[in-house]
C-alpha cells in the first residue's frame, strides 16, 4: 500500500514537471501513515495486557498452571477515521475533513490528497493522489503460551511467551510472496500477591479471594523483501527510470520494523469453589507501539539537465510511528476447573475492550494463610 502512494507521487512528478527543483522525501508521509495505522497499532499492543489472570486466588507454594490464551481486541468505531485538517502541513491539501484508518470499512470513499510542488519561479504545481483505503481491520488480537507457579507467602509468578517464530510464519504466510518476516517473538512477566492474608476478619471468610497483580510484556517483529522496498528495479517495472547519483548502498537495508510493550495492573476479588472460580476486578493498562520504515530511502527530484528522475540524497529511517493507549478498566471473568483441566474467559471493559480465553492444566491448591 505504501509503495503505491509513493510511486503515484513520483510518477506524477515524472509526467508533469519540466522545471522541478523541489524534492520528495518519504518522511513527508509520516503523520498521515501514523494516523492511518494508529487504531490497529493500539489494538495490537493493548491486547498484550489481556488474559494474565484467570482467578483471584493465588497458588500455594509450587502449585502451577500452564495454558494457551488468546485475546481479541475491539476497535471502537470512533477510531475508524481521523481528522485531516493541517495533518501534512502547508504543502498539502486534503479534500475532506476526515480520512479512513486501516480499521475503516472498505466502502468508504477516500479523499484526494494534493501536494503543492514549487518549481522555478515559485510556481506551484499540484500533484493529486487518493488516500489509502480502509481494510475493515476493526479487531486486534494477541496469543501466548503462559505459565504460573506459586511462591512462598502467597505470591505467584507468571511468565508468558511466543517463541521465536520467524521460520514458521514465513513458511505459512510469506513464501514466494516477495517479503519475509524478520525475527518475531514475545515475552512477558507478571506477579500476583494474596492480600486477604493481611486483612483481619476478611481472611477467615470461606471461599473469599482477593489479590493484586502487575504485568509487563514486549513484542518484536519486522518485514523485509521486494514487496515493501523502493528500488530502481521497481520503478523500472513501472516504466520510470530513476538515476542513482549517490553513494553505493543508497537503496539498501529497507524494512518495516515494529516493537510493542504493555504494562498493566489490577485488583481482583473473587471466590474459589471446587469447579468454578468467578472474579471481578479493576485495573489499568498502558500500551505503546513503535514502528517505522528502516534503511535507506533516496530523496528524489526532477533532473533539469537529464529530464529524468534522480536521487538527491538519502532519507535514513524516514518514517517512525509511535502510538500510546492508556486506560483504566473493569473486568469480570470465570475459570472452570475439572480435575487438572481448566478453561477460562475474561471480559475487560475499557476504550479498547478485551475478550480473553484460555485452556490449560492446573495442579495444586490455592494459598491460605
pLDDT tens by residue, 170-188: 665 544 556 677 788 899 9
Query: Which pTM was predicted?
Result: 0.82
- Cα–Cα distances (Å) from 315 to 92, 180, 227, 310, 366, in that order, read 20, 23, 19, 14, 57
- Dihedral of alpha carbons 138, 142, 143, 149, sign: negative
Which set of grid coordinates corresponds to residue 36? 492511518
What is the distance between the alpha carbons of residues 313 and 332, in angstroms, rounded to a whole number? 55
- Summarize the confidence of residues 182-207 as an average pLDDT: 90
User: How many angstroms separate the Cα of 185 from the Cα of each of 18, 25, 259, 321?
Assistant: 49, 32, 10, 20
Banded pLDDT at 95 (limits 50, 70, 90)? confident
295 vs 253: CA distance, rounded Å: 5
Distance CA 319, CA 152 (A): 48
- pLDDT averaged over every residue in the chain: 83
Q: Are 103 and 39 in contact (CB under 8 A)?
A: yes
Domain boundaries, the chain: 2-363
The whole-number pLDDT of residue 298 equals 83
Give the C-alpha distances (Å, rounded to integers) separating 179 from 18, 113, 168, 171: 36, 28, 14, 11
Q: Could you read off the pLDDT of 295-352 as tens digits, one per residue?
A: 888 887 766 666 667 777 888 899 888 888 899 999 999 999 999 999 999 999 999 9
Q: In the chain, which ranges are E strands?
A: 23-24, 64-74, 81-83, 92-94, 98-100, 112-118, 124-130, 139-151, 155-162, 180-181, 185-194, 208-224, 242-243, 255-271, 276-294, 296-302, 309-316, 319-338, 341-349, 354-363
Between residues 324 and 117, the one the model is more confident about: 324
Query: In the chain, how long is the greatest CA-to-CA distance?
Result: 88
| Contact in structure between 326 and 286 (CB atoms under 8 Å) | yes
Nearest to 291 by CA among 324, 268, 336, 246: 324
Across the range 18-26, mean pLDDT stands at: 63
Amino acid at each position: 500500500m505504501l509503495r503505491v502512494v509513493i510511486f503515484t507521487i513520483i510518477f506524477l512528478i515524472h509526467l508533469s514537471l519540466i522545471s522541478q527543483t523541489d524534492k520528495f522525501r518519504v518522511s513527508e508521509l509520516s503523520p498521515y501513515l501514523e494516523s492511518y495505522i494508529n487504531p490497529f497499532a493500539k489494538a495490537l499492543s493493548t491486547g498484550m495486557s489481556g488474559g494474565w489472570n484467570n482467578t483471584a486466588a493465588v497458588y500455594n507454594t509450587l502449585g502451577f498452571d500452564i495454558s494457551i490464551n488468546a485475546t481479541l481486541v475491539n476497535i471502537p468505531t470512533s477510531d475508524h477515521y481521523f481528522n485531516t485538517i493541517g495533518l501534512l502541513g502547508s504543502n498539502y491539501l486534503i479534500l475532506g475533513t476526515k480520512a479512513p484508518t486501516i480499521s475503516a470499512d472498505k466502502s468508504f470513499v477516500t479523499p484526494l490528497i494534493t501536494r503543492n510542488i514549487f518549481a522555478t519561479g515559485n510556481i506551484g504545481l499540484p500533484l493529486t493522489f487518493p488516500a489509502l483505503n480502509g481494510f475493515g481491520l476493526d479487531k486486534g488480537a494477541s496469543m501466548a503460551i503462559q505459565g504460573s507457579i506459586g511462591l512462598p507467602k502467597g505470591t505467584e509468578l507468571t511468565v508468558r511467551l511466543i517463541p521465536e517464530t520467524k521460520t514458521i510464519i514465513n513458511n505459512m504466510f510469506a513464501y514466494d510472496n516477495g517479503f519475509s518476516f524478520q525475527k518475531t517473538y514475545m515475552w512477558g512477566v507478571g506477579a500476583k500477591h494474596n492480600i486477604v492474608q493481611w486483612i483481619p476478619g476478611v481472611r477467615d471468610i470461606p471461599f473469599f479471594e482477593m489479590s493484586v497483580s502487575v504485568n509487563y510484556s514486549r513484542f518484536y517483529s519486522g518485514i523485509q523483501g521486494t514487496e515493501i522496498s523502493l528500488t530502481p528495479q521497481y520503478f523500472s517495472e513501472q516504466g520510470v527510470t530513476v538515476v542513482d547519483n549517490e553513494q553505493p548502498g543508497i537503496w539498501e537495508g529497507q524494512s518495516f520494523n515494529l516493537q510493542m510493550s504493555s504494562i498493566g495492573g489490577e485488583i481482583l476479588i473473587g471466590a474459589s469453589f471446587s469447579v468454578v472460580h468467578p472474579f471481578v476486578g479493576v485495573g489499568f493498562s498502558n500500551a505503546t507501539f513503535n514502528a517505522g520504515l528502516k534503511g535507506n530511502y533516496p530523496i528524489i527530484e526532477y533532473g533539469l539537465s537529464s529530464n529524468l528522475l534522480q536521487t538527491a540524497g538519502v532519507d535514513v529511517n524516514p518514517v517512525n510511528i509511535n502510538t500510546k493507549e492508556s486506560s483504566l478498566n473493569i473486568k469480570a471473568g470465570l475459570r472452570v476447573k475439572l480435575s487438572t483441566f481448566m478453561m477460562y474467559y475474561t471480559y475487560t471493559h475499557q476504550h479498547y475492550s478485551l475478550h480473553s480465553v484460555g485452556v490449560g492444566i492446573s495442579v495444586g491448591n490455592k494459598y491460605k494463610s
